[in-house]
Amino acid sequence: MIMLTDDPRSPLTPWQRPPVARNPKGQWMAGVSGNPRGRPTRAALAVKRAATDRRAELKRIASYEGLTPHYFVRLARVAYGNSWQGPFAADLRMSRRGMIRWAKGEHQISHEKEMRILAVCLRRTRDAYAMVRAMYRRAAADQARQELERIRRHLPLTPPEPRRRAY
């Protein structure tokens, strides 16, 4: 024997529906999903986050092994191009041979040197980014000028319609 509630096309009865989580205004209702006071405010969530143990976040940060030779070379090529050793060494005020040793992985890059490398590369790419952005704006302005030239400045004059004399 098939019960009425076994038919998937029949409407759900009140005891089969999931609990309503929001009131008609769209606010979270108290007591839903085991939360007796409703959804916490942003301030309460911030206090809770500040009070929790940061162990998981610190473990994730501590798992960083430093700048690898592969990523060092990629970073240098992005910031300085294919012939990066000379200009990069000059900006860091060190020998070109030291850069090559880092790139080959013969020497480890210290944390202080890594922070200096990243600061120099960021400064260099920020300048390049500003130049690219300025060139893009100029190209967009040229395109806008061409489009403005195609648009008519005024409508052509047309003779007025004859006056209607039928009353």
Is the entire prediction scored with pTM above 0.75? Answer: no
28: β partners? 22
Q: Is residue 114 part of a domain?
A: yes
Domains identified in the chain, total number: 1
Q: Is residue 34 part of a domain?
A: no
Q: What is the pLDDT of residue 1?
A: 47
Q: What integer pLDDT is reported at residue 94 of this predicted model?
A: 93
Q: Report pLDDT for 10.
A: 61
Is 119 contained in some domain?
Answer: yes
| Residue 76 domain flag | yes
Report yes or no on 51 lying in a domain.
Answer: no
Domain that holds residue 81: 69-143
Residue 5 CA, chain-centre distance (Å), reads 48
Q: What per-residue confidence (pLDDT) applies to 86?
A: 94
Does any domain span residue 12? no
Residue 131 lies in a domain: yes
pLDDT of residue 100: 93
Per-residue pLDDT of the chain (167 residues; tens, 9 = 90+): 445 445 555 666 666 666 567 778 877 777 665 566 667 777 877 887 777 777 777 777 777 788 899 999 999 999 999 999 999 999 999 999 999 999 999 999 988 899 999 999 999 888 888 888 888 888 888 888 888 888 777 666 777 777 777 76
Say if 109 falls within a structural domain: yes
pLDDT given at position 133: 86
**So what's the pLDDT on residue 140?**
84
Q: HEC profile for the chain?
A: CCCHHHCCCCCCCHHHCCCCCECCCCCECCCECCECCCCCCHHHHHHHHHHCCCHHHHHHHHCCCCCCHHHHHHHHHHHHCCCCHHHHHHHHCCCHHHHHHHHHCCCCCCHHHHHHHHHHHHHHHHHHHHHHHHHHHHHHHHHHHHHHHHCCCCCCCCCCCCCCCCC
